[in-house]
Structure 1
Amino acid sequence: MSTVAAENAQQLLDRVIHRIAPVWPLDSFVAVNPYWGFADRSFSEVAAQLQGTVGERVIMDRRWYADLLQNGKLNMVDILQATEDLGLDVDEEGWREYLRESSELPMRLPRLPELMDLRGHASVSRYVVEQISHFLAAYYDRGQSLWSIPKDPKTGLFGTWRQYTLADRSLGPMGLRPVRSQLLALSSNGAAARQWALQTMGIPQPAEEAYLLVLLKSIGGWASWCRYLLWQAELQGCSDEDLLDLLTIRMVWEALLRQTAQSKVLERWHRQIQAWIVDDKSADMEDARRGEVLLRASEIAYRRQVATSIRRQPAKKKNSTAPLVQAAFCIDVRSEVFRRHLEGVMPTLDTIGFAGFFGVLLDYRRQGDYAPRTQTPVLLNPGVHVMEQGTKAIIERRFRRLRRGAEWKHFKLSAASCFSFVETAGLSYVGRLLADTMGWHRPSIPPDEAGLSAAERATLQCVLPESLTLQERVAMAEFILTGLGLNRGVAPIVLLAGHGSSNTNNPHRAGLDCGACAGQTGEVNAKAAAGLLNDPQVRKSLVDKGWDLDPRCCFLPALHDTTTDRVEILGGMDDPRLDAGLLAELRQALEKAANLTRLERMLRLEPDVRDPETVARNMAYRGRDWSQVRPEWALAGNAAFIAAPRWRTREMNLAGRAFLHDYDVGKDPDFAVLTLIMTAPLVVANWINMQYYGSIVDNQRQGCGNKVLHNVVGGTIGVLEGNGGDLRIGLSEQSLRDSNSGLQHEPLRLSAFVEAPIEAMDRIIDGNGALGQLVNNRWLTVIQIAPDGSLFERRAAGNWVKM
C-alpha cells in the first residue's frame, strides 16, 4: 500500500471510530448523547444515514405521530408551522396521506455473517458478536472474574484477541475450523492486520466508510466502552489504540469469513452492496426530513406550554425584605419539584439553581484508594485534588472490614467451594434472604459509606489541598459566589444541596446520582464548597475585596435523596454564627417540602397511593426492595433548560421536566457565567436529553433492554442482557415506560430558554465548536427570553425569529 493510500486509510478509520459515543463504567455512569459523534451533521441527515446503513432509528415511526394527532396531543397547525420552518413544501392533505401510509424501511448495508446464517443452524452473525464480547469481558475485567486474561501492552488488544481466538475451541462446532489456520498466518500487528482485512474484504470505495461503521456498530456497546478509554486518554493529551484495535478485530472477522463463505453467499453479498451503492437515497432523506418536521411539531406544542407560563414581570411580594435563607440545588429536573414546594412552605427562602458540582472542578481520593474519582462534568478536567481526612484508626477499621468482605466473596465464588457453599453456609443466609424479600435492610451502601458506621463516617472530612494558596482559594470562592448569583447580597444561611439516590440491586444506581458529578453524588462538592466559603481567611479576604457577606452567614452542605426526597444537612450545624430558630424553621420546611414532593412524584409511580405517611413509607421501601426495577423515574420527561432569574419561573409548575439554572445577566457584565452555563451545563443537559431520546426511539441499539435480565460484566464495566451478546448501553425499558400509563419520557430534543442578549449568545455559540454543532445542526434549540418576556428562537447566527 502506498504512503498516500495508507494515510487515506488511516483518515478513514479515524472518521469511523470518532462516530462512536463513549459509555462510562457503572461506578461513574453518566448520561451520554449517543449521537455525539454525528453532531457535525444535521439531525435529519444523520437520521437518514443511520437508518440506511445500520438500520438504526433516530426518529419515532410516523404511526407514533399519527396516533398523537388522532388523540389531540398534536395538531395540524403545529405540523404545518414546522413544515414551513424546515422549508418543506407539503400541504395539509399531503401530511394526512403521509400519516396514513405505512413506513417503508430503507435498504441497509448487509454484513456478511448475516447472509451466512441458515435457518435451523447456529447463527454465525450472533456467534461473531458473542465471541468478541466474551473476550472483551475477560480482557477488561475489573475484579469480577477470578481468572482474567493477562495484558501485555506490547501485544495490544488485537494481538491478545488473536492469541485468544487461536486457542478458542468453539470455532469447530460452528463450522469455522478453517478460520484458525488463516488467523495463524495473519500478523499480530494491528496495522498490518487492518491493511490485510481492507484488501481482503474488497468493499467498493463508495460503500467503504459506511460498511466499516456498520461493522463497528455491530459490536457497538463494546465500541462505546473503548471510545470511553480513548476519551479519557484524550482528556490527558494522550491516545489509546483499543477502539481502533476493536474495529480491526471486527474487520478481520469479516475478512476471515469472506475466505470461508460459499461462493453463492459471496455473490449475493456483492450484489446487495452494489444495489445499496446505486440505490436512490433521496427518498430516505425526504422521509427523514418529514420525520424531523413531526418531531419539531411536537416540540412546538411543548414549548407553548412553557412559554405561556414564563412570567413577563416579577410578582408583587407581600414584603420586600431580603431572604433569610438561600438554598442552592442542582439544575437536575428532579430538583425543580422540590424547589417549588420548598419556596411555597417557606416564603422567606429563595432557591438557586446551579450545576451540581457548585463550580468546584475537583476529583476526590479516599484514603487507601489507588486513584481519585472525578466529581466534575465529564466534559471538563478537574483542577483541584481533594483528599479524604480521617483518623488512622477509622481508616484501618474500614480497610479490615472491606478486606474481610472481599475474602468472603472470593471464597464463595471460588472453584474449590462454589458447590459446597450452599450446604455449608446456606442457613446463615436465611436472614439475609428474608430481609431482602421484605425490604428490611438499608439500600446498597455507597462506596464512601462502605465499611463505616454512621458515627465514623461523620468524622471524615473533604479537605482541599494545602498547596492551594490563599489567593487561589479566594478566586475559587469568588467563582462559586458569582456562579450562584450571590455577588449582591447573601442570606444568613446558604444551603448547598447536592443530590444522590438511595436504592438497591441496581447496576445503574450511579446514573441516578448527579450526572454533573461524573455519576457521583454531590456530597463531596457541597462539603468542599461550604468548607471553602466558611474558611475565616477566605471570608476576610472576600470582605476586604468588597463582597457583601454578612458576618453571621453560614454555608451548610446538604444532600437531597431523590428516591425518598429527604434532604440531609451534612454538617456545620454547630457553628456559633447560626441562628438556632432559623435553622429549626429551615429543617421543618425541608420536611414539609419533602412530603409535598413525594406526593407529586407518587402520581407517576403509584397514582392510587395518596396518604402522605403511606407515600413516605412507599418511597423508602422502593429504595430498599431488592426486586424493585423502578425506585424512581430519575430524569424521565426532561425537555427544557431554563437559564433566567428565578422570578421568571417561581411558582410555575414545570412538572419536573426542566433543568433550572438561575442566571441574572445584570450580575454578569462580561458574560463569563453565561459562557460557563452554555458550554458546560447546557451541553450536559443535552447529553442527558439525547440519552433518553435515543433510548426511546431505538432501545435495541441505544438502550439497554429489560432491566430484569441484566447481568453485570467485568465488575463495573456495564451489563449484558441475558448471558451474552453485546454490551448494552443507554437506559432500560423500565426507566422509560410502565405497563399502566405507557411512555414516561416523551421523545423531544432539548429546548433551551436563556435570558441574555442575542449578540452574546451568538458569540458563545460560534466560539465553541461542540456547542455550535449541537445548535446549528438542530440537536438542541436555543430560545432567547427578551427583557419584556418575548421569546425568540435561534435559526442561525444573527437570525432569531419571534415565537
Structure 2
Amino acid sequence: MSVTSVINKDDVKQKDDNIDFQESDIRVLVESASRVIAPLWPISTFAARSPWMGLEKLSFEQVARWLKNTRDVDIYPSASMIQSAKRKGEIDEAFVEMALQRWLDSHSFHISRQVAERYCRAALTLDKLPSELLSSSELEKLDADLKEWNTESSEKAFLQPLSMNVKQQSGEKLADILDYYMIKWCKLYLDESQATWTMPNREDGFYPAWRQLIPYDPAISKSLRKSLKDWPKDANTALEVALSALEIPKQEIQHYLEGHLLSLPGWAGMLMWRSQQSSQEHALLIEYLAIRISMEWALLQPYVPLSNQQSKKKVSNVSLIASWIHWGQLSIDEWSQMSLKDQDEYLTFAYQFDDMVRRKIWLEAWEQTYKDQLSEKILSTHANHKKTALAQLAFCIDVRSERFRRHLEKEGPFETIGIAGFFGLPIATSELGSKHSHPSLPVISKPEHAIKELQDANELNRYQQRKNAVNSLGHTFKTMKHHLLANLILPEVSGPLLSLQMVTRSFVPRTADRFIRNLRENWVRKPETKLSINHVHEKEAGLPVGFTEEEKVKYARHALKLMGLTNNLSPLVVFCGHGSQSINNPYASSLDCGACGGASSGFNARVLAELCNLPEVRAALLEEGMEIPEDTVFVAAEHNTAVEELHWIYVPELTTSAQVAFDRLEAILTKVSDNANAERLTQLPNFHSKHKNPTDEAHRFAQDWSEIRPEWGLARNAALIIGKRELTQNAELEGRAFLHNYDWKEDENGDLLAGIIAGAGTVAQWINLQYYASTVAPHYYGSGNKTTQTITAGLGVMQGNASDLLAGLPWQSVMQSDNEYFHSPLRLLIVIQAPTEYIKRLLNNNTAFQEKVQNGWVRLASVDPKGLWENW
C-alpha cells in the first residue's frame, strides 16, 4: 500500500465536484491537513516537540518516503553519518547482515538468493555509483532498449502548490516570492515585543487585518493589489474561492493544503500553537491558508492557464542498470545478453532495494548495537543489594542528571532517584512581586493551581521599588532605541558604558558576570519568601491559588509513590529541580528544561518539600499506611547543569540526624561538581585545558557571551529506563539515558507505569525526535548556525530577515564540527523493568503507545524480575 493511500484515510467526506463546500468541510480539511506540522512554542518558552507527532498512525518508513516524495526531505541518517558511526564502533555489522536477511526473507523476487545477497552487501557499503559509469553512452543505449520496464514510481505524486512549478523570467520561483510575502505578514501579526508600530486592525484577526491592508501594500504590484481588493471578507469563503479558482480537485484539497503548510512549517506551527491557546484565535490556520492561497492565486494570474495534472516520479533506468554493473558485478555484455524478463526482474529488485532501504537497515543496526551495548551494561553491573542511604536525592529524569547522580553515589551512602522534574505538581508559579505566572510543568499538560511567592506588604513594596529602579533602566534604554529622535543621541549617551561592558564581558567574562550579578542582587536584595500553599478563595490567571487539604495529601502521596519513597526513608530527602545558565543565548530556555517551556523546576521542588513537611500531610499519609519517620526532613535544591552544581533553595530546621546527612552532603558536593564537570567538559569541542579547575572552566563557558556551546544540553539522548535505581546504579550510561524510578511491585494495577509512559515517555520521545530531526535534516527541521541567527518578533529565530521561523535546534547543539556529528540520531529506546504481563497489559490498554512501538517511533525492551532482557 502506498504512503499516499494511507494518508488519505482521514475522516473527511469528499463531495461531488458540483457541490459547494460548507464551512465545516473547510474546517475539517484544514484540521486533517494540520497533522503534517507540529505546534511551535515561542523560543522564550522553548519546548521540545516531535515534528511528526500528528503522523504516528503511519510507520516511520512511510513518513520518510512521503517527505522525500513531497518535499525532498530525507529523515534517515546520511551515508557519511552512518560511515562515521561505523568508524567509531557504534554499529556492529553483524546486525546489518541480520537486518538484510530479514529484508530478503520478507520480499519475493525471481533471482537467485546468492546473486541478491552479493548485490545487497555491495550496495550496503553506501558508496556512490561512479559518475563516468552513469554518463556512459553504453548505458544510455541499454536504457533506450528498455521498452517494457515501467519507468514511473509506484508512488502517487501529491499535487504540489502550483506556485512551485512556475518561475519568473528572472528564474525565481513564485513559491519563493509567496513565502517571502507570507513571512512578512506572519511577522507583523505575531509580533509580541520587537515592532515599534503594531499591525493595524490586528485585533480583528489575521485574515481581516491582512484583507484591509493588502490594497495598500507598496511591496506588491498594483495589479496584484487590485485583484485582491474585493476579496471575500470571510477567511473560510476566501479559502474556498481561491481553491476553486485554482481548480484544485476536491479529492486533492487536503494534500494541497498540506503542501502549503509544509512550505513554512515554522510559521504555520507558531500559528497552530497560538490557535490552541485562545478561543479567539482558534481559526488561525484557516486564516493563514486563506491568505496564502489567495495570494498564490493572484501571483499566478499572469501565467494562466495552468495544468493541474499530476506527474508520477520518474525512475532512472540508467542508475538501476549501473547499480547492477557496479554492485552486482555484471558486465555490460552480460546485461545485454539477458532476456527482457530477467532484466525486468533485476531492475525491479534494484528499485526495491533503494537508497532509503539501505540506510534504514543501517539505522536499525545502529539502534540494535546501542540496545545490545546497553543491555550488557545493565545486566552485567546490576546491583543486587540496596545500601542504607544517609540521604535520598530525587533528580529530574533529564539525561544530564545521570552523570551528576553517578558521581554523587560514588562519594558516600547516598541514594539517587529519578522522576519527572516538575514532581507531579500541575502548577503555574508567580515570583515575588510579579503580575504574571509561568506554567511550571511539561507543555503537554495544563496547570491546575497557581502558587505565589509571598511577603508582608511593607517588605514587598520596598523590594518592588528596588526592582523597578533596576528594570526602569532597561525599559528606558529600549524606549529610546525605538524613539525617532531619542535614538539619534543614544550612541553618544550609552556608548562608553556599553563599550566597557563589551570589553569586560569579552576578556574577563567570569569577573564581569560576577560583578554585574552581585551588583544587581545586592541592590535588589530579594527577601526570603513564603509560598501560597494553603488554598485561598482567589484566582491567579484563572487558576485557584494554593491547594486544599485533600489536594496537599494527593500530590504528596503521588510524588512519593512515583519515587518509591513509601518506606525506608532517610533522615534527609532532597528534591532537586534543575535549570541552567548561559549568556547571550536565544536557546537558554531549552537548556533549562526540554519539556517545561524553559521553566526551571526548583520552585516545584520547594513546593513539594514544604508539602511533605506539613504535619497534617504526614498524619494523613500515616493513616493510609505510608509512614514518614519523625526525624526525616524534606529540603529543596536545584541542579545547575551548565556548571554541575547543586544550589540549596529551601532548607528548613533540620533534625539531628538530618543535619548530619546535610553536613556530609555539603562536604562532598565540590568534589562531585569537579568530577562531573571534568567528564562533561571533555566532550565540548573547544575545551583543551587539562590543568585548570573543571568547575571554574564550566563557569567560564556559562558566563562567556561569545560561547556558542555553554553545554551540550540533551544531545546524544538515546534511552528511557524505567525501573529501580539498582538496575542502573553501577552502569556508566554516558549521560545518554533518561532515568525514571519505578517498582512494579508497588504498581499492582499498572496505573503508575501507564502514567509514566503517558507523561515522561511522551516528553522523552519528543525530546529524542527533536534532536533526531535537527541532526538528520538540519536544513528543514533544525535552525542553522547559531552565530548567524536573527531573533524575530520576540518569538523565535530566522536565518537572515526572511526565512521560515526555525523550529529545531541549532547546528551547535547536535554537531561536533561541520563534518562530524555529536548527537547520534537513534530513535528512543524505552526499557521497562517489569514482568512480561505488565508490558502486555500496557500495550493492550494504551493503543497510542502500541502504535508508536509498532510503527517505529520508539523501540521497546523490558527486563523481567529474573533479569532477562526481552525485545518487543
Task: Output the TM-score relative to the length of structure 1.
Answer: 0.90
The letter of the residue matching 2:726 is: W
Contact kept, 8 Å, 1:384 with 1:464, in 2: the verdict is: no
Residue type of the partner of 1:186?
W
Q: Report the equivalent of 1:184.
A: 229
Paired AA for residue 300 in structure 1: Q
2:197 aligned partner, one-letter code: W
Q: Which structure's CA Rg is the greater one? A: 2
Measure how far apart 1:549 and its partner are.
1.3
2:212 to 142, 163, 171: 163
Distance of 2:216 and 2:746 partners within structure 1: 66
Cα deviation for residue 191 of structure 1 reads 0.7
Structure 2: distance between partners of 1:260 and 1:208: 23
Which of 392, 399, 411 is equivalent to 1:326? 392
Q: Match for 2:869: what amino acid?
A: L
Does the 8 A contact of 1:207 with 1:277 survive in 2? no
Instruction: After superposing the two structures, state which structure 1 stretch, 363-372 or 678-687, moved more.
Output: 363-372
Alpha-carbon distance, 1:72 to partner: 5.2
Partner residue in 2 for 1:466: 535
CA distance in 1, matches of 2:84, 2:467: 57
* Cα separation, 1, equivalents of 2:315 and 2:25: 24
Q: What's the offset of the Cα at 1:465?
A: 4.3
- Paired residue for 2:513, among 437, 442, 445? 442
Q: CA deviation at 1:736?
A: 0.8
Q: Corresponding residue for 2:366?
A: 298
CA drift at 1:290: 4.3
User: How far apart, in 2, do the equivalents of 1:726 and 1:516 lie?
Assistant: 23
Q: 2:729 aligns with which of 642, 647, 650?
A: 650
- Checking the alignment, whether the CA contact within 8 Å between 1:639 and 1:689 is kept in structure 2 is yes
Structure 1's 314 and 100: CA in aligned 2 closer, same or farther, altered over 3 A? closer
Partners in 2 of 1:450 and 1:127 — Cα distance?
Answer: 50
1:662 corresponding residue in structure 2? 741
Q: Contact 1:641/1:659 (CA < 8 Å) preserved in 2?
A: yes
- Tell me if the contact between 1:599 and 1:612 (Cα under 8 Å) persists in the aligned partners: no
Alignment partner of 1:91 is 2:117 = yes
The letter of the residue matching 2:809 is L
Query: Residue type of the partner of 1:274?
Result: S
SS at 1:149's partner residue? coil
Partner SS for 1:622: helix
> Paired residue for 2:410?
344
Q: How does 1:714-729 map to 2 (within 5 A)?
A: 714-715=793-794, 717-729=795-807
Once residues 774 and 454 of structure 1 are traced to their aligned partners in structure 2, the CA distance between those partners, rounded to angstroms, is 52
> Structure 1 530/67 Cα, relative in aligned 2: closer, same or farther at 3 Å?
closer
Q: 1:230 to 1:764 in 2, by over 3 A?
A: farther
Q: Is the 8 A contact 2:239 2:293 kept in 1?
A: yes
**Does the CA contact (< 8 Å) of 2:534 and 2:548 recur in 1?**
no
SS in 2 for 1:737: coil
The Cα shift of 1:577 comes to 5.3
Deviation at 1:763, TM superposition (A): 3.1
CA drift at 1:85: 5.3
Aligned-partner Cα distance in 1 for 2:424–2:574:
15
Alignment of 1:187-266 (within 5 A): 187-205=232-250, 207-233=252-278, 240-261=282-303, 266=306
Other structure's SS at 1:473 match? helix
User: Against the structure 1 CA distance between its residues 728 and 284, is the aligned structure 2 distance closer, same or farther, given a 3 Å change threshold?
Assistant: farther
The reply to whether residue 42 of structure 1 matches residue 62 of structure 2 is no
- CA deviations 1:18-71 (Å, max 9, x no partner) are 321111112211110111111111110111111101222221234543554577
**Could you say which residue in structure 2 is the equivalent of 1:401?**
470
3-state SS, counterpart of residue 378 of structure 2: coil
Gapped regions of structure 1 (runs ≥ 5): 795-803
Q: Could you say if the C-alpha distance between residues 59 and 231 of structure 1 is closer, same or farther in structure 2, counting changes exceeding 3 Å? A: farther
Say if 1:428 and 1:30 are closer, same or farther in 2 by CA, change over 3 A: same
Q: Which amino acid is the alignment partner of residue 23 of structure 1? A: L
**2:182 counterpart residue number:** 132
Give the drift of 1:544. Answer: 3.7
Equivalent position amino acid for 1:442 in 2: D
SS at match of 2:682: helix
Residues 3, 557 of structure 1: alpha-carbon distance in 2 compared, 3 angstrom cutoff: same
Deviation of 1:379 after TM superposition, in Å, equals 1.3
Contact 1:206/1:277, CA 8 A, preserved across alignment: no
The code of the aligned residue for 2:245 comes to T
Alpha-carbon distance in 1 for matches of 2:237, 2:516: 48
**More deviation in 363-372 or 125-134?**
363-372
Map of 2:144 onto structure 1:
none
Counterpart selection for 2:75 from 53, 58, 65? 58
1:401-800 pair list within 5 angstroms: 401-438=470-507, 439=509, 440-442=511-513, 453=522, 456-457=525-526, 459-467=528-536, 468-572=547-651, 574-576=653-655, 579-606=658-685, 609=688, 611=690, 613-715=692-794, 717-739=795-817, 742-794=820-872
| Cα distance change, pair 308–479 in 1 and its aligned pair in 2 (3 A) | same
How far apart in 1 are the matches of 2:118 and 2:315? 33
- Measure the CA separation in 2 of the matches of 1:445 and 1:730: 32
CA distance in 1, matches of 2:534, 2:272: 32
Distance 1:297 1:108, change over 3 A: farther
Q: Which moved more, 1:207-216 or 1:114-123?
A: 114-123
Q: Is the 8 A contact 1:516 1:684 kept in 2?
A: yes
Amino acid at match of 1:254: E
CA distance in structure 1 between the aligned counterparts of 2:163 and 2:313, rounded to whole angstroms: 17
Determine helix, strand or coil for the equivalent of 2:374: helix
**Aligned-partner Cα distance in 2 for 1:739–1:113:** 36
1:234-291 C-alpha deviation (Å, 9 max, x unpaired):
9xxx97111221122222122222223265xx35xx45x3345999999589654443
| Contact 2:73-2:780 at 8 Å conserved across structures | yes
- 1:679 is displaced (CA, Å) by 0.8
Structure 1 residue 651: Cα displacement: 1.9
Name stretches of at least 5 consecutive residues in structure 2 with no aligned partner: 1-17, 108-115, 135-152, 318-347, 537-546
- Find 1:146's aligned residue among 176, 196, 216: 196
CA change 1:516–1:608 in 2 (3 A) is: closer
Identical-residue share of aligned pairs (%): 27
Q: Which amino acid aligns with 2:823?
A: H
1:624: how far off?
Answer: 1.1
Q: Distance in 2 between matches of 1:607 and 1:428?
A: 30
Match of 2:324 in 1: none
- Comparing 731-740 with 254-263, which one deviates more in the overlay? 254-263
Deviates more, 1:742-751 or 1:276-285: 276-285
Question: How many aligned positions are there?
Answer: 775
CA distance in 1, matches of 2:193, 2:534: 31
Whether contact under 8 Å (2:399, 2:736) holds in the other structure is: yes
**Structure 1 counterpart of 2:332:** none
Superposed CA deviations along residues 771-799 of structure 1, whole A, max 9, x for unmatched, are 333222110011111112222122xxxxx
Indicate if the aligned counterparts of 2:775 and 2:815 stay in contact, CA closer than 8 A: no
What is the distance in 2 between the residues matched to 1:754 and 1:630? 33
**Distance of aligned partners of 1:62 and 1:742 in 2 relative to their CA distance in 1, 3 Å threshold:** closer
Question: How far 1:118 sits from its partner (Å)?
Answer: 4.5
Task: Return the offset for 1:611.
Answer: 4.1
The aligned residue for residue 800 of structure 1 is: none
* Residues 19/443 of structure 1: CA separation in 2 closer, same or farther (3 Å cut): farther
Q: TM-score, normalised by structure 2?
A: 0.83
Cα deviation per residue 1:450-485 (whole Å; 9 max; x = unaligned)?
975598335134432424322221121111110111
Is residue 178–residue 296 contact of structure 2 (8 Å, CA) maintained in 1? no
Deviates more, 1:140-149 or 1:63-72: 63-72
CA contact (8 A) 2:633 2:658 kept: no
Q: Deviations over 1:565-597 (max 9, x none)?
A: 111111215435564332121012222111111
Give the CA RMSD over aligned residues.
3.1
Match of 1:358, SS? Answer: coil
Structure 1 residue 84: deviation in Å?
5.0
SS in 1 for 2:574: strand
Q: 2:706 is aligned with what amino acid?
A: S
Q: Is the 8 A contact 1:201 1:254 kept in 2?
A: no
Residues 444 and 504 of structure 1 are in contact (CA less than 8 Å); yes or no, is this contact kept in structure 2? Answer: no
Instruction: Between 354-363 and 158-167, report the one with greater CA deviation.
Output: 158-167
Q: Residue deviations 1:675-731, cap 9 Å, x none?
A: 11111101100000000000011111111111111111122x111112222111110
Aligned-partner SS, 1:591: helix
Contact 1:80 1:92 in 2 (8 A): no
Contact 1:330 1:353 in 2 (8 A): yes
